[in-house]
Structure 1
Amino acid sequence: MKISTDNRVPFPRQIVYTTYRDKITELVRYVPDIRTINVKSRREADNIIYIVNEWHGGGEIPLAARALLSNDMLSWLEHDVWDESKFTLDWRLETRAFTEAVSCIGKNTFIEDGDATIIQSRGELKIDPNQIHGAPAFLTGQIARVVEDFLAAKIKPSLVQMSDGVRKYLERAGN
């Protein structure tokens, strides 16, 4: 499943980029679907910044999916690679449940648009039913679809909300 959003933030690219990268824990208050974000690690090498964030989402698991999913699906690790020379963020999500089955990767590109910035997010979510263990083989395809639909319903809105959160944060900061 493809993930694609384009969000315009009415602030210069450098400010938007560094706010998104460095103020992520402060942006949570502007993102209703996320309860907390904890920075697990951060290191810099050759002008690239590597960050691992632990996300804790909010919301309810749909009734139809509760038999298959747990609250573990509302938390995940995000592995980020920030390249300021290209104004890009390469990300990979690591789920707490169905870890072997779920692949979710993407790239955010911060594009200058006059005095504003377009945050272009492109990603792909794949669920491999053959890697879903502990369920009868005839159900793994259905489980994969439920997990994919659930995750997609969380990821895309979070990308939009994060961009909006950057805008609100910068407006409050008076930039």
Structure 2
Amino acid sequence: MNIECDTRIPFPRPLVFQTYRDQLLDLIPYLPNVRSIDIKSRRDVRGQLFCINHWHGGGEIPALARSILSDDMLSWTEHNIWDSDTYTLIWRIETHAFTKAVSCGGENRFVEDGSHTVVENRGRLAINPQQLEGIPDLVRGHVASVVENYLSQKIAPNLLEMSQGVQQYLEASSLSSQDI
């Protein structure tokens, strides 16, 4: 299943790109579906920044639902390659539930549009039914299809939420810098 989502942020491209890349922990208050993010590694190799981040989702899930869902079902590891020369991000998500079955990755481009930035999110999500352990063979294909549809419907809103969070963060930062 393809993932496509574009957003327009009313700030210059270098600032938007840097905020996504370097201010991730500062963005958490603006991301209601994220409980926390652990930065596992960041290393610069020939102008590219390689990052591994562990995300803990489920911020606005009711307590009863959260008691049924395991932490693995609400967490994922994101592997990123940031290229500041091309203003691109290549990403891959590793789920903590059904890790072998789920494949998800893509590329984001940060495109200058006057004094604004358009963030073009492109990705692909696929679930291999043969890798769904603990699911009877007879229903694996159906379960894979349902889960893939469900996840794909959650990813685009989360990408939009991230862009909105970046915009709110930058607006708040510019307001506080004006107060000085």
TM-score, normalization by structure 2: 0.89
Matched with 1:149 is 149
Distance in 1 of aligned mates of 2:28 and 2:72: 19
- Return the letter of the residue paired with 1:84: S
CA distance in 1, matches of 2:4, 2:94: 19
Match of 2:55 in 1: 55
Other-structure match for 1:16: 16
* Residue of structure 2 in register with 1:44 after alignment: 44
Runs of 4+ in 1 over 2 A off after TM superposition: none
Distance 1:153 1:10 in 2: 26
Give the aligned partner of residue 4 of structure 1.
4
Matched residue of 2:40: which SS?
Answer: strand
- Counterparts of 1:80 and 1:109 in 2: how far apart (Å)? 13
1:132 corresponding residue in structure 2 = 132
**Equivalent residues in 2 for 1:1-175 (5 A)?**
1-58=1-58, 59-60=60-61, 70-174=70-174
Distance 1:36 1:3 in 2: 24
The unaligned stretches of length 5 or more in structure 1 are none
| SS across alignment from 1:161 | helix
SS at match of 1:167: helix
Question: Displacement, 1:146?
Answer: 2.8
Q: Which moved more, 1:23-32 or 1:6-15?
A: 23-32
Offset at residue 70 of structure 1 (A): 4.0
Distance, in Å, in 1 between the alignment partners of 2:126 and 2:70 is: 19
Once the two structures are TM-superposed, the CA of residue 154 in structure 1 deviates from its matched residue by 2.5
Q: Bigger CA drift: 109-118 or 154-163? A: 154-163
Q: Deviations over 1:20-60 (max 9, x none)?
A: 00001111111111111111110000000000011111144
> In 1, Cα distance between the equivalents of 2:166 and 2:61?
25
Change (3 A) 1:143 1:70: farther
* Residue identity in the other structure for 1:25: L
Identity of aligned residues (%): 49
> How far apart, in 2, do the equivalents of 1:9 and 1:77 lie?
26
User: What is the CA-CA distance between 1:149 and the residue it aligns to?
Assistant: 2.6
Structure 2 Cα separation of the partners of residues 47 and 8 of structure 1: 26
Shift of 1:153: 2.9
Structure 2 unaligned blocks of 5 or more = none
Aligned pair count reads: 171
1:78 alignment partner, SS class: strand
SS at match of 2:126: strand
